[in-house]
Structure 1
Amino acid sequence: MVKDVIDFYYFSGTGNTLLVVKKMKDIFTENGVPVNLHKIENSKPEEVNLNHTIGLGFPIAELSTYNFVWKFIRALPETDQDTEIFMVDALAGFSGGIVGPVHEIVRKKGYNPIGVEEIVMPPNIFYIQDGKACNEKVQRGMMKAERYALDIVSGRSKWGRVPLISDVVYYISLAGLKVTKSNLNQKLLRLETNHEECRRCGICVKLCPVNNITLSEDKYPVHGFNCEYCLRCTSLCPRGAVSCPINYKGKTYRAVKAREFLE
């Protein structure tokens, strides 16, 4: 059973995780459990309330998750209160390097891991599926998110780990994340803004979770070399002005509109 209040810390790239988190919040609230939502990119780990149940929600990236999400998880404060914590992630197919490693990180910090769930949602990278396939996956994902939230409320949820496999995939993921952050990768796969399409609204600047986009003197977005490839800018730009060199035929996917991220 969860404590009186849930503080749900989440990051969502193109909206899949946001849909999952909001669905779970609705179910928690309907069952008398108040929920506070906190964006990971705007949150400080040291300010986490250890008297509340902690929720973590984020997308899978390179078999685990983004560097700045890992940084938040690793910086969570230690607790001697057996603080309950649960996790949910949104993924296109396979992770392998997240469930076990996060379990061990929070357990060693003194938390009580009470539940984990991985929810398949439409892919937002490489190959984008058609609208019908995406909608069907979203519907199935929402059903799974609802069941998971009910399991947490009732105390039926669990969070185990497969030590050897998860640890191996975890280190493979860390290697991949290092390649992503390398100067060569950042130069070769740099996202750029088409000035002819751009209306200089600044939405991409506000949406970037790692402040990798700034505005030039003429107010056009300038992409730096610290991209985490969450694809917010390319998927949520109202004009589709940001190119994505890693997606088939430049197609993009978004589960929600930009304004839902800016609320």
Structure 2
Amino acid sequence: MSGSPSAPDEVVRYELRDGHTAVITLDRPEARNAVNGAVAAAMEALIDRTERDPEIRAVVLASSHPEVFSAGADLKEIAAGRRAGLRTERGGFAGLVFARRDKPWIAAVDGKALAGGCELVLACDMVVASTAASFGLPEVLRGLVAAAGGLYRLPRVLPPNVALELIATALPIDATRAHHFGFVNRLTAPGQALDEALLLARQIGANAPIAVRESLRVARAALDRIEPELRQRSAEAIATVAASDDYQEGPRAFIEKRAPRWTGR
């Protein structure tokens, strides 16, 4: 399989580094790497590509934007009634968050990872972040629900009371504090997250690939054993919110650049 980079006009770029590391880069900088249908389709295709390639031993998920990892779902797509296009049947949101993967994924975060962007990070196995990074689930600001696993994955990587505060207030957590709590594996200076993530990928790749794969499969099962139930509860929450007037008001206020007027109905 070729290791050549993707075409420069693609919304998600692929590159082979160090012989055994795939770097997948979100590349919609003009939209703060917000996820649209093209991103979701490209991500699913690249997951399949890396899973099929026996030479790939680790995957690094990165961003082309200097200040934003990903702003999450493209609210313009949601307001236009195209929410369904932001997910794939197998992978869920962005083609990634519920995708079955054997290869270890490392998020390299050097900016803001908010809403669905944070959920992309949470879908990875490990996180390398610079001190310029921050993480948050601000969906409630827009009358929405973090629908891509964030509501149950965030309390796994942070103390529950801290996670509940972030979910309820919509306030972010900076990378230094996230590292203190164990959410971030390795903390770097600004601009160095990708290099450190590549180092971590090389350290993984130096080990026996089948042993790593099978070990991670067991370890992930310990974390995911009740995920189907949690995913169902998340879907029920989404349905309740989607039936409310506030669900329409949040994206409308964002597009109109005004404060939302919540009614609680």
Q: TM-score range by the shorter chain?
A: 0.3 to 0.5
Flag the structure with more relative contact order, 1 or 2, with Cα contacts below 8 A and sequence separation at least 6: 1
Which structure: greater helix fraction? 2
Query: What's the TM-score, normalizing by structure 1?
Result: 0.36
